[in-house]
Amino acid sequence: MPQVMEFKLPDLGEGLTEAEIVRWLVAVGDVVEVDQPVVEVETAKAMVEVPCPYGGVVTARFGEEGTELPVGAPLITVAVGAGSEPEPAAVAESSGSGNVLVGYGTDHSRPARRKRVARPAAMAAAAVAAPVAAVAAVTAPAPVAPAQASGPVPVISPLVRKLARDNGVDLRALRGSGPEGLILRADVEAALRAPAPAAQAAATPVAAPDGATRIPLKGLRGAVAEKLSRSRREIPEATCWVDADATELMAARAAMNAAAGPKISVLALLARICTAALARYPELNSTVDLAANEIVRLPSVHLGFAAQTERGLVVPVVRDAQSRSPESLSAEFGRLTELARTGKLAPADLTGGTFTLNNYGVFGVDGSTPIINHPEAAMLGVGRIIDKPWVHEGQLAVRKVVQLSLTFDHRVCDGGAAGGFLRYVADCVESPAVLLRSL
């Protein structure tokens, strides 16, 4: 007899708790192989193809395209042939194994395989009974168990520990639903939901006039809303700004690009200036640990930059930007921007930033007071570079002028450090030779 195995939406990592079904890659009755992508989902961070750890015949799918599912909810059931012991493939293997979630691992180009074959009678019968069996197999969240007096807490994931710590959940009081009592994120989330049933009541919709359109605040838009709201709630931010003469910077870039080799973008030059400024003012490359009541200064600059896509605004991250040359920065900006436009950024490309560079000049505006990308401590905004009258060497002249703005967390530094950072950036823009002193 074939065995019907249920595959649930896996933990996609990076704090993600739900995903929206974008496109099914298989249908009921299709034969799937181990690690074959079966569904494309959209998380708050990226589009991800989810591979199935079982091989066999698809007997049921749970959720239509556009449905949002929480982590741990059933995705599909697969009838595995008689005589075989189904062993789920590891979701996170070593690099190059192929046994990874598409979008997190080594193979981003493997096409989804879909084929239909005649099903044996036993599998056909299993297909009819599978939905009922699958529904019965869905279990309730793990209940809270009596607190353990001592001994190790069965938790592996640091994300689970952080979630529990941030929300004041005692892991010793939970009974894990994973293998051998392992505590999963679903167990912590169940504990968070249990004490506050009143919070589960649906809010009263805001009255809207006839003809109004309601757009669900979910996916990327929902994640942006939550992050920006949290930033405004937690961070006492302040903004300072200055106009700078960028004529010499633009001339330096033209000279660089006139030579042989890859072209250098303005964003790459500004990024290199940022990393030099952060070396002088490291308090702006930090984060605030509320649980420990400490400011954490970070050793590396992982530079985020705002990129507008069809899905909305995303912030890809350039790792170890402080050790990159303008040429390397330009190449990495180009690579990540292309992945963002095609929707192929992995969640790892969108997390871990320590400082953000926001070039809103591409929208044709001069200034802005951006909201800090939580949990970072600062963001540099750059307006458009345009010709303006400017006093240069005692004479009125037409120069290329840009407005720079720095929004910073007032907990990590005072105005002196923020002003010093911005002034140094402006000095490098106005006279790129200043940057040579720090190289």
> For tokens 């998380």, what's the residue?
43
In angstroms, what CA-CA distances link 19 with 50, 107, 272, 317? 11, 21, 36, 22
How distant is the alpha carbon of residue 353 from its chain centre?
10
Contacts of 141 (CB under 8 A, 6+ apart): 177, 186, 187, 189, 190, 193
C-beta separation of 83 from 38 below 8 A: no
C-beta separation of 296 from 287 below 8 A: yes
Q: Which of 302, 374, 392, 410 is catalytic?
A: 410
Amino acid of residue 366? D
C-beta separation of 177 from 187 below 8 A: yes
pLDDT tens digits for the chain (439 residues)?
Answer: 678 899 998 876 655 677 888 889 999 999 999 889 999 888 766 778 888 999 999 999 998 888 888 888 899 999 987 444 444 444 333 333 344 444 333 344 444 444 444 444 444 444 444 443 433 333 444 444 444 444 456 665 666 777 777 777 877 778 778 776 778 878 888 888 775 444 444 556 778 888 899 888 877 778 788 888 999 999 999 999 999 999 999 999 999 999 888 999 999 999 999 999 999 999 999 999 998 999 999 999 999 998 888 777 889 999 999 999 999 999 999 999 999 888 888 878 988 999 999 998 888 999 888 899 999 999 999 999 999 999 999 999 999 999 999 999 999 999 999 999 999 999 999 999 888 776 6
DSSP annotation of 413: -
Question: What does the alpha-carbon distance between residue 374 and residue 363 come to, in Å, rounded to a whole number?
Answer: 23
In angstroms, what CA-CA distances link 239 with 184, 377, 415? 41, 12, 9
- pLDDT for residue 131: 44
- pLDDT for residue 1: 66
Q: How many CB atoms lie within 10 A of CB 365?
A: 12
Q: Name residue 389's beta-bridge partners.
A: 398
Question: What does the alpha-carbon distance between residue 178 and residue 142 come to, in Å, rounded to a whole number?
Answer: 9
In 3D space, the residue among 241, 284, 269, 379 whose CA is nearest the CA of residue 326 turns out to be: 269
Contacts of 320 (CB under 8 A, 6+ apart): 300, 301, 302
Question: What does the alpha-carbon distance between residue 371 and residue 256 come to, in Å, rounded to a whole number?
Answer: 33
Residue 108 is a catalytic residue: no
What's the order of all strands across the beta sheet hosting 68-70?
Answer: 47-52, 36-42, 18-24, 68-70
How distant is the alpha carbon of residue 165 from its chain centre?
21
How distant is the alpha carbon of residue 343 from its chain centre?
12
Quickly list DSSP for 192-231: HHTT-GGGGSPPPPPP--TT-------HHHHHHHHHHHHH
- pLDDT for residue 319: 97
At 38, list the tokens.
Answer: 């079966």
- pLDDT for residue 282: 97
Instruction: Name the pTM for this structure.
Output: 0.63
